[in-house]
Chains A and B, each alone.
Chain A
Amino acid sequence: MTYILKPQLHHPKLPTNGLGYTRRDYEGSVSTLCAGCGHDSISAAIIQACFELELPPHRVAKLSGIGCSSKTPDYFLGNSHGFNTVHGRMPSVLTGANLANRELIYLGVSGDGDSASIGLGQFAHAIRRGVNMLYIVENNGVYGLTKGQFSATSDKGSKSKRGVVNHDAGIDMVSLALQMGATFVARSFSGDKAQLVPLIKAGLAHKGAAFIDCISPCVQFNNHPGSTKSFDYVREHNEAVNRLDVITPRDPIHVDYKPGETVRVQQHDGSILSLHKLAELYNPNNRAQALGYLQARQARGQIVTGLLFVDPDAGDLHDSVGTVDTPLNQLGEAELVPGQAALAAINASLR
């Protein structure tokens, strides 16, 4: 970790967004993670995405569990709401917070240990309920805080730093999210911000359960030749299916691809996802096809990245439960305690 504070001085030409904030205003405290950690790059990408989306920091709630990845919310959005939950329980707390106040933008940050081991059940249920959130798993395939044991997402056959071979099958978080009904599913790589930043922007703008599996090399314990989550391995096996540009309603629309190469998807908030196809046959609107494509490519040793599935018309938990539009935490006593007559009416309707 670094002991000095990042100097407040910044580039004289540092741009500001529509709110008058610079990118630096979305930073948090200095990271205490190991030098070179992929998670720090993801934090930087989140900062960039929030800056570009012009999100008011006080409108964002960042929640996490336990682990290296779950420490990171301290290192970005220093002026946002935060909740560091019990190990693996972030999805429940996020669900509760979202039900109480549907007006905030929810960002869940977790790791492969927090989400694929102790919190696997929590993860699956938050996704299948369609909680309106962006859930990012910073996936390094290793337990970094406890000195480098295999995690549940370590690929079968990959080696630890000491040369031990992993015999257990790895959990593929992306396939799991697709099966659980996530309405926005992407995979990216901490070493490719050009891909990652638009995905985070699109995920934050998505209504419903958005999930990004972000491979994030652990420089200390999982960046060696036998690893399948090292910088070199991911760069060699990365197969991006598309390149995403997020066009917010404010932005002028640039068309720089030939027709037929680009798919446009409009989201609830009016933002347009402009997807430039890299893999010719890949269709990001077909869940079954996505699953098949992922399996086939995985069998060939490729790591498929990009926006893998999106349902622009998705609803969320509030829609299915039928909650009021006003956030529950803003309802007054009159709405919350409607009186004897209202209770009698409800009882009558159930007879």
Chain B
Amino acid sequence: MPEPAAAPNGRRVALVGAGPASLTVARDLAPLGYEIVLYDQDAKAGGFIRSQIPRFRLPEEVIDEEVGFVTRLAPMDLRLGQRVDSLKALLEDGYDAVFVGSGAPRGRDLDLPGRQEAAANIHIGIDWLASVSFGHIEKIGRRVIVLGGGNTAMDCCRTSRRLGGTDVKVIVRSGFEEMKASPWEKEDAMHEDIPILNYRVPKAFTHEGGKLTGVVFEVVEAVYDDAGRRKLVPSGQPDEHYACDDVLIAVGQENAFPWIERDIGLDWDDWGMPKVDPLTMQSTNPRVFFGGDAAFGPKNIIWAVAHGHEAAVSIHLFCEGRNVAQRPPPGASLVSQKMGIHEWSYDNDVSNDRRYRVPMREKAEALQDVRLEVELGFDRELALGEAQRCLNCDVQTVFADKLCIECDACVDICPMDCITFTEEVDEPELRTRLKAPALNLTQDLYVSGTLSTGRIMVKDEDVCLHCGLCAERCPTGAWDMQKFYLETTQAEAACLSR
């Protein structure tokens, strides 16, 4: 973590929402002497990771510790449990800048027949997860249907299993493969005996005497048009009814900004989202910056942190009266890893092992308690074994054409057929002329200058294992393995580069 500031710089910044995006802004700006005022509707900072990620995946102590790293950086003004109801009022408070990191707090609903009548047993997934997190909900019915195929749906079904749901199903519109949930989250859900039924579109909630009895689904199939676009069309099979006691709707999240006035110089797009510069995170009101899910809709925590760093740079430049579009470049270095004739400062021996799974708590025990962490973590041996599989993507093959004698040693040894020496032609043709054609057009080819025979060296980076055998078999050192280090721009760098 950065060092705390020696003295305040006299500027005040308000952060709305205390999730990962805002905490990142605080982490970057507090050490520069900014006075941070952090607002959140909940009693503790953390945002989505505290309210919606279930405790059995992310224990509260971890969140407390990580949030504490940030909030202890400087004496911050934490206004927790305090909802911001007016951005206009906040701006009038004289903050030098305001950062909006309020997330995408509204879970999408499904307006189907029976929704109102059976409302008591139909819950919006993210709201329900928050209620579980804060201890307001401790039970659910025995039979639960989760609608939706994202990570929130996976959290909902696994949480249900821990609150009394013994027959929990995930039912999703799309095919299993196209589900938005990460493959490992699907794996974990199925491990807990939760079937995932695909190609079923909910049509109606059935109810009896004001109580939910189940959900009716239309069975569909995927049809692809000439452009490869998928369409779900009725399969002709009869509709299916699944009985249940509770339904959790996890079909997406939306942004909601009822607290932002429309007359404060902040422009909106057609979908009700603020117009935010994707590079600077600045809105059309130059004093207001956005980040995390609040900026461009739901993404993940990594994005939220990235947004936070960029926004902090912008806020700093803005407060210094500089152009926010002129961003200090990131730091980058490329350093040779050669230690001796066949010695590298990284482990270049490629492991053929498959992934080692994180050891998990016994299922029966894990399902007993919604706060009991499922993953036990790696022990030393497993962690080393897993780390051994690292392909060292940060260690790059760097080619010096002046040194090459075109002996073909690298071509012959390369296990992936990445390297070719050939005549110089245009890229589309070049891609087909390689020892193995380079078909991934999103990956640039590595092309050398002209060599002494008039040919060029072309490397298809897409399949490189970074094993360094090209460099080991190179008699002249034309190939070298160099570690690439990228230091993304943070607000301190913006300070230094002045």
Chain A residues at the B interface, C-beta cutoff of 8 Å? 1-14, 24, 31, 34-38, 40-41, 43-44, 190-191, 193, 217, 219-220, 223, 231-232, 235
Contact = CB atoms under 8 A, between A and B. Distances in A.
A14 B417 contact: yes
B475 A35 contact: yes
B77 to A, nearest CB: 54
A193 B476 CA distance: 21
B349 A41 contact: no
B413 interface: yes
Interface string B265-294: 000000000000000000000000000000
Contacts of B465: 7, 9
A41 B437 CA distance: 21
Nearest to B471: A35
Given A13-B436, A36-B474, A36-B475, A6 B406 contact: no
B354 to A, nearest CB: 12
Contacts of B409: 35-37, 40-41
Nearest to B405: A231
A212 to B, nearest CB: 17
A44 B472 contact: no
Among B412, B416, B418, the one with the most A-chain Cβ atoms within 10 Å of its Cβ is: B412
A41 B407 contact: yes
Interface string B45-74: 000000000000000000000000000000
13 contacts: A2-B472, A2-B473, A4-B349, A4-B350, A6-B413, A6-B469, A7-B467, A11-B463, A24-B415, A35-B475, A37-B409, A41-B408, A235-B453
B408 A34 contact: no
Interface string B394-435: 000000000001111101110111100000000000000000
B416 to A, nearest CB: 5
B342 interface: yes
B437 A35 contact: no
Given A14-B417, A14-B436, A191-B407, A3 B342 contact: yes
A40 B473 contact: yes
Contacts of A24: 415
* B contact patch SS: loop
Among A2, A14, A31, the one with the most B-chain Cβ atoms within 10 Å of its Cβ is: A2
Contacts of B415: 6-10, 24
Interface residues of B, number: 31
Contact of B412 (A9, A40, A219, A235): A40
A231 B406 contact: yes
B448 interface: no
B348 interface: yes
A3 B411 CA distance: 18
Among A2, A7, A223, the one with the most B-chain Cβ atoms within 10 Å of its Cβ is: A7
In the A-B complex, the 3 residue pairs with the closest CB atoms: A36-B475, A44-B412, A7-B350
A223 B412 contact: no
Contacts of B475: 34-37, 219-220
Interface string B464-498: 01010100111110000000000000000000000
A230 to B, nearest CB: 9
B352 interface: yes
Among B348, B406, B473, the one with the most A-chain Cβ atoms within 10 Å of its Cβ is: B473
Nearest to A34: B475
Given A11-B436, A12-B463, A217-B407, 17 more contacts: A4-B349, A6-B413, A6-B469, A9-B352, A10-B417, A35-B474, A36-B473, A36-B474, A36-B475, A36-B476, A37-B409, A37-B475, A44-B408, A191-B407, A219-B407, A219-B475, A232-B405
Given A35-B473, A36-B474, A40-B473, A7 B352 contact: yes
B175 to A, nearest CB: 24
B405 A36 contact: yes
Nearest to A10: B415
A16 to B, nearest CB: 13
A161 B478 CA distance: 21
A160 B417 CA distance: 35
A7 B348 CA distance: 10
A253 B23 CA distance: 69
A235 B439 CA distance: 32
Contacts of B416: 9-11
A181 to B, nearest CB: 33
B311 to A, nearest CB: 40
Among B452, B474, B475, the one with the most A-chain Cβ atoms within 10 Å of its Cβ is: B475
B469 A223 contact: no
Contacts of A7: 350, 352, 415, 465, 467
Interface in B231-267: none
A6 B416 CA distance: 10
B436 A4 contact: no
A1 B341 CA distance: 9
A191 B342 contact: no
B10 to A, nearest CB: 58
A150 to B, nearest CB: 21
Contacts of A217: 407
A35 B474 CA distance: 6
Nearest to A192: B408
Nearest to A4: B349
A43 B476 contact: no
A1 B408 CA distance: 16
B407 A36 contact: yes
B342 A2 contact: yes
Contact of B469 (A4, A10, A34, A193): A4
A12 B452 CA distance: 32
A301 to B, nearest CB: 19
A190 B411 CA distance: 13
A41 B408 CA distance: 7
Contacts of B453: 235
Contacts of A44: 408, 411-412
Nearest to A43: B412
Contacts of A10: 415-417
Nearest to A37: B409
Given A4-B467, A36-B407, A231-B405, A13 B412 contact: no
A24 B436 CA distance: 13
A13 B436 CA distance: 7
B348 A4 contact: yes
A43 to B, nearest CB: 7
